[in-house]
Amino acid sequence: MRILLIEDDPQAARYITRGLREAGHVLVVANNGADGLSMASDEEYDVLIIDRMLPSMDGLSIVQSLREQDNHAPVLILSALGDLEDRVSGLRAGGDDYLPKPFAFEELLARVEALGRRPNQGNVTTHLTVADLKMDILGRKVQRADKPIVLQPREFRLLEYLMRHSGQVVTRTMLLENVWDYHFDPQTNVIDVHVSRLRAKIDRDFEEPLLYTVRGAGYMLREPE
């Protein structure tokens, strides 16, 4: 993916750039807001990563200007202000996702990739398939190798999210935000228990597992190698 990073802190920029390049992405970096805005307007990028606090022009204004120019490139806002209010104002300004600093690199990578593969609006998916696992979203039915699997509503939504992002790392925070729709920090890893329950239903009776745990990052649903 072509990614534009607008970040004034050179150390943070280096860290993000190196990591994303290692993950196989093309990185372009702007170290202030004005440059960043002109670069984002001139060329097309798959994802924009914008630091909220920037010299010359703050991150939220950049997002607002881009949206006014009818530029709908997915934007991930980075901010040291991790509070809810800031998150809400960030998303209201037109950001697609919001990541409070500091963050684990896996979290950033997972979110950037999720943003980059966000399905185009208008294309409504009704069926999802990963290997022999099939989901009928409208019919609320799941089957693997033609065997029906009965899921609780929350398990269904969890699996749907994982299938939509198959082949991608999905972090626990992303699951909480997207499946449960709450932004909060669980004291214990409640998500793990939900995932292992789901895993018991979709993987236990089958030879090849589909749902993997990515150490230090989260989970990934993918086709067996």
Q: Does 21 bind other proteins (CB under 8 A)?
A: no
Site for other proteins in 131-160 (CB under 8 A): 154
- CB neighbours of 125 closer than 8 A, spacing ≥ 6? 119, 137, 164
Pattern 196-225, other proteins, x by CB under 8 A = -x-----------------xx---------
Q: Does 10 bind other proteins (CB under 8 A)?
A: no
Q: Does 24 bind other proteins (CB under 8 A)?
A: no
Q: Does 52 bind other proteins (CB under 8 A)?
A: no
Site for other proteins in 170-189 (CB under 8 A): 180, 182-188
Which tokens hold the place of 3?
């990614």
The DSSP-derived string for 41-83 is: HHS--SEEEEESS-SSS-HHHHHHHHHHTT----EEEEES--S
Pattern 87-106, other proteins, x by CB under 8 A = -x------------xx-xx-
Alpha-helix residue ranges (DSSP H) falling in the chain: 10-22, 33-42, 59-68, 84-92, 105-116, 153-164, 172-175, 190-202
Smallest distance, other proteins to C-beta of residue 183, A: 5
Among all chains, which residue has been given the structure tokens 């090849």?
Answer: 208
Would you call 159 helix, strand, or coil by DSSP? helix
Question: Stretches 38-46, 65-73, 120-128, 190-198: which one binds other proteins (CB under 8 A)?
Answer: 190-198
Site for other proteins in 54-93 (CB under 8 A): 82-85, 88
Instruction: Report the alpha-carbon distance of residue 210 to residue 132 in Å, rounded.
Output: 9
**Closer residue to other proteins, CB minimum distance, 70 or 182:** 182
Instruction: Report the alpha-carbon distance of residue 122 to residue 168 in Å, rounded.
Output: 22
**Closer residue to other proteins, CB minimum distance, 55 or 102:** 102
Q: Does 161 bind other proteins (CB under 8 A)?
A: no
**Closer residue to other proteins, CB minimum distance, 119 or 182:** 182
**Closer residue to other proteins, CB minimum distance, 83 or 136:** 83
Which tokens hold the place of 159?
């699996």
